[in-house]
Amino acid sequence: MAAIGAPAHNHYRSNQPSDHADNGFYGQDILSVRQFSREKLSYIFGVAGEMETLVRRFGSADLLSGKVLANLFYEPSTRTASSFMAAMVRLGGRVIPINEVHYSSVSKGESLPDTIRTLECYTDIIVLRHPEMGAAQIAADYARKPIINAGDGVGEHPTQALLDLYTITRELGKLDGLKVAMVGDLKYGRTVHSLTRLLSLYSTDFYFVSPDILRLPADMVAEVRARGHRAIEVEDVHEVIGEADVLYVTRVQKERFNDLAVYESVKNHYVVDPELMTAAKEKMVVMHPLPRVGEISYGVDRDPREAYFRQMENGMFIRMALLAAVLGKA
Ligand code: NCD
């Protein structure tokens, strides 16, 4: 067990036989996109492609049979929770789902470290979503088993960013030289934070489109510019729609506002509809991590540039690849 406060990386390396290919992921936590290089990304994307083939041909495999995953969600989730479950089950593993922490000992006041130390007794890997930034790191500090961050408050959502980037390369055939417009709640949207960091590994031009009070945190804008990227902040999506190769639309994160009146004032700021799409390039994609609550009208669902449904399907393939890699079977 790691000392309190000490990171517990390389969980398995010292005490397990190395009968697996060393892919750089075995036994590792997945806490932040900062852990990924272009090489690691292309490795995971390659495995995700194999997972897609596997699912289309056979539906499932027994790669992770005998392995157990704990899916520990302190915040609501549809796609992330169920795609991790589906990913594990399709690889022959099993899942302990704890989606409703009110029914667990968390409601009795149990701390995150104790809950993590309990679940790791029964499982091989823990997927954690938590409302506080840094919670996944804290869990990893205490755990001997790998932790996968499925969203830590306004911090990061690394597996979402992986599936977002995978979708971009699948849809547009490249990652370098793209103009990416992030639209909506750039302040609280953790998927934006993670995807921006990943895209800054490629030669991306960024348009950050938001109401003034929901701008991307200034240190992130500075970080992107320091890496040599063009980063333009605007409020009006019409100014950038004709340029964007990727329009990445996000929900205003109601649950992060202290004052709901402020949320009400910005919630309907952007609506991507068929009329706006007439100004977009012929070859581009509209993405959204989902759920949408009005930012993209249903009329756009029939547009061939819609990629948000394929994006969520890709999530399962990416999570299959990650689980197989971290558990030493990729
Ligand atoms: C996102 C999240 O939880 O950050 N959802 C998801 O995982 N697909 C985006 C959101 O909730 O708006």
Examine the pLDDT at 10 and tell me if it is beyond 60. no
pLDDT in tens, 152-205: 999 999 999 999 999 999 999 999 999 999 999 999 999 999 999 999 999 999
Q: Which of 187, 250, 290 to mutate to test ligand 1, by most ligand atoms within 8 A of the CB atom? A: 290
Q: CB atoms < 10 A from the CB of 79, how many? A: 17
Average of per-residue pLDDT values in the chain: 93
Residue 218 contacts by C-beta under 8 Å, 6 or more apart in sequence?
none
Residue 38: both structure tokens together: 């272009």
Say if residues 156 and 193 touch (Cβ distance below 8 Å): yes
Confidence of residue 19 (pLDDT cuts 50, 70, 90): very low
pLDDT for 5 equals 39
Examine the pLDDT at 6 and tell me if it is beyond 90. no
Q: How far is the CA of 183 from the centre of ligand 1 (A)?
A: 14
Examine the pLDDT at 111 and tell me if it is beyond 50. yes
Q: How far is the CA of 50 from the centre of ligand 1 (A)?
A: 26
Ligand 1 neighbours by CB, cut-off 6 Å: 79-80, 151, 157, 160, 190-191, 251, 289-290
Write the residue with the smallest CA distance to atom 12 of ligand 1.
Answer: 251
pLDDT for 21 equals 55
Peptide bond into 289 cis (omega under 30): no
- The CA-atom distances, in angstroms, between 330 and each of 5, 26, 64, 170, 323 are 30, 9, 10, 21, 8
pLDDT for 22 equals 67
pLDDT for 27 equals 97
Q: How far is the CA of 291 from the centre of ligand 1 (A)?
A: 7
At 210, which amino acid appears? S
Length of the chain: 330
Q: How far is the CA of 191 from the centre of ligand 1 (A)?
A: 7
CA dist 132 and 155 (Å) reads 8
Q: How far is the CA of 283 from the centre of ligand 1 (A)?
A: 26
Write the residue with the smallest CA distance to atom 7 of ligand 1.
Answer: 80
Q: CB atoms < 10 A from the CB of 281, how many? A: 15
At 236, which amino acid appears? D
- When mean pLDDT is compared across 13-17, 64-68, 255-259, 295-299, the lowest value belongs to 13-17
Query: Stretch 128-133: mean pLDDT, rounded?
Result: 96
pLDDT for 140 equals 98
Say if residues 247 and 208 touch (Cβ distance below 8 Å): no
Say if residues 247 and 286 touch (Cβ distance below 8 Å): yes
> Burial code of 29-52, b = ≥16 C-beta within 10 A, e = fewer?
bbbbbeebeeeebebbbebbeebb
- Ligand 1 atom with the smallest distance to the CA of 312 is 8
- Ligand 1 atom with the smallest distance to the CA of 150 is 7
Domains by residue range for the chain, with CATH: 13-157+313-326 (3.40.50.1370), 158-308 (3.40.50.1370)
pTM for the predicted model, two decimal places: 0.93
Write the residue with the smallest CA distance to atom 8 of ligand 1.
Answer: 289
How much of the chain, in percent, has pLDDT values that exceed 70?
93
pLDDT in tens, 224-243: 999 999 999 999 999 999 99
CA dist 21 and 174 (Å) reads 27
Write the residue with the smallest CA distance to atom 1 of ligand 1.
Answer: 289
Residue 32 contacts by C-beta under 8 Å, 6 or more apart in sequence?
149, 156, 158, 194
Q: How far is the CA of 59 from the centre of ligand 1 (A)?
A: 26
3-state per-residue secondary structure call for the chain: CCCCCCCCCCCCCCCCCCCCCCCCCCCCCECCHHHCCHHHHHHHHHHHHHHHHHHHHHCCCCCCCCCEEEEEECCCCCHHHHHHHHHHHHCCCEEEEECCHHHCHHHHCCCHHHHHHHHHHHCCEEEEEECCCCHHHHHHHHCCCCEEEEEECCCCCHHHHHHHHHHHHHHHCCCCCCEEEEECCCCCCHHHHHHHHHHCCCCCEEEEECCHHHCCCHHHHHHHHHCCCCEEEECCHHHCCCCCCEEEECCCCHHHCCCHHHHHHHCCCCCECHHHHCCCCCCCEEECCCCCCCCECHHHHHCCCECHHHHHHHHHHHHHHHHHHHCCCC
Query: Stretch 198-219: mean pLDDT, rounded?
Result: 98
- Ligand 1 atom with the smallest distance to the CA of 251 is 12
